[in-house]
């Protein structure tokens, strides 16, 4: 019996770990793809939607759940499109590591929105985590804001906007998953992916952006982004997350922003001082405190 319990506990832990590791490469694939930020966001959800549809067809799962679910999915897609739109631009300005850490600040916004809209109580642990996260962020980017370049400052604004839009996405997605028809995570994510792709495609057409993929490296990077990050990574986390303790889940999910910052240093030679590394540790610790201050842990960003 002890062996069975250990296996049932370790399996979802492994699923969450592998999912977080896969998603940690999302900013790397975006950086490697020689396309515009909006184009990389489009291909992420477009290829991801195709892979998710293949999974659903293999399961022979019903693809239509009615208009109420569709309306919620379309609203979630609006937030997700804005999330990807701003996050991919943040990557271009400040690099994959910091952009991912900024996007994970949604762990502070979701409880704040819950307190404002649903009168949910904020724990002391959560309240203490917010100034800790801000202090860590200042240590990463530097105390003197005026010395940062306009592009770098824009990247920080884009990253914080990512957290805001991702918060809206999570709130609507939570509503969608609690709908009476109870659509599966794969179905919800597929509908959101294709809807987001339509929004981003319209934006590309409006701005005269190109859909052309310039070379093999870009094509493989975009396929990996859709398969590993939008489809498989998210499904692993969504399936495994409810089956492990919140504190353990919060710690495992820190792999995503942590590894994203490490990949930025290793692959793209990001210059990082000792103070900045200390700021990364403080910011990630604050994200962990914020993510585990309630009963549930939200899925990782981006």
Give the pLDDT of the chain (302 residues) as one tens digit per residue. 444 444 444 477 888 888 889 999 999 999 999 999 999 999 999 999 999 999 888 888 777 666 777 788 889 899 999 999 999 999 999 988 889 889 888 888 878 877 777 777 778 887 888 888 888 887 887 656 677 889 989 999 999 999 999 888 888 877 776 666 666 778 888 888 999 999 999 999 999 999 999 999 999 999 999 999 989 988 888 777 767 776 677 677 788 888 899 999 999 988 888 888 998 999 888 888 877 776 555 555 66
pLDDT at 255: 83
Question: Which of 226, 233, 237, 109 shows the shortest CA–CA distance to 162?
Answer: 109
pLDDT at 143: 59
pLDDT at 236: 86
Beta-carbon-side half-sphere exposure of residue 278 (alpha carbons within 13 Å): 7
Question: Which of 40, 280, 291 shows the shortest CA–CA distance to 138?
Answer: 280
Q: Which residue has the tokens 């319209």?
A: 202
Number of neighbours of residue 9 by Cβ within 10 angstroms: 13
Q: Which residue has the tokens 């980017």?
A: 141
What is the reported pTM?
A: 0.82
Q: Where are the domains of the chain?
A: 2-291
pLDDT at 29: 95
pLDDT at 158: 96
């Amino acid at each position: 019996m002890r062996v069975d319990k250990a296996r049932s506990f370790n399996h979802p832990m492994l699923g969450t770990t592998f999912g977080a590791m896969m998603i940690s490469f999302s900013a790397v694939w975006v950086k490697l793809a020689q396309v515009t930020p909006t184009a990389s966001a489009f291909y992420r959800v477009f290829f991801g939607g195709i892979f998710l549809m293949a999974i659903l067809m293999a399961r022979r799962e019903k693809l239509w759940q009615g208009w109420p679910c569709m309306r919620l999915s379309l609203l979630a897609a609006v937030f997700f499109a804005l999330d990807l739109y701003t996050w991919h631009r943040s990557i271009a300005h400040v690099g994959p590591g910091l952009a991912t850490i900024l996007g994970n600040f949604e762990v502070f916004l979701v409880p704040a929105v819950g307190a404002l809209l649903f009168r949910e109580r904020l724990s002391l642990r959560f309240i203490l985590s917010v100034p800790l996260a801000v202090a860590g962020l200042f240590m990463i980017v530097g105390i003197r804001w005026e010395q940062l370049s306009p592009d770098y400052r824009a990247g920080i604004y884009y990253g914080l906007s990512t957290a805001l839009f991702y918060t809206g996405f999570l709130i609507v997605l939570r509503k969608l998953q609690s709908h009476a028809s109870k659509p599966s995570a794969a179905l919800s994510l597929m509908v959101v992916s294709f809807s987001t792709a339509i929004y981003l495609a319209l934006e590309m057409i409006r701005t005269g952006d190109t859909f052309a993929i310039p070379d093999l490296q870009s094509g493989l990077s975009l396929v990996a982004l859709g398969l590993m990050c939008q489809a498989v990574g998210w499904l692993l986390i969504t399936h495994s997350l409810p089956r492990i303790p919140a504190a353990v889940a919060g710690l495992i999910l820190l792999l995503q922003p942590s590894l994203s910052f490490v990949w930025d240093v290793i692959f793209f030679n990001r210059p990082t001082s000792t103070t900045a590394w200390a700021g990364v540790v403080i910011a990630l610790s604050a994200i962990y405190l914020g993510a585990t201050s309630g009963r549930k842990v939200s899925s990782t960003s981006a």
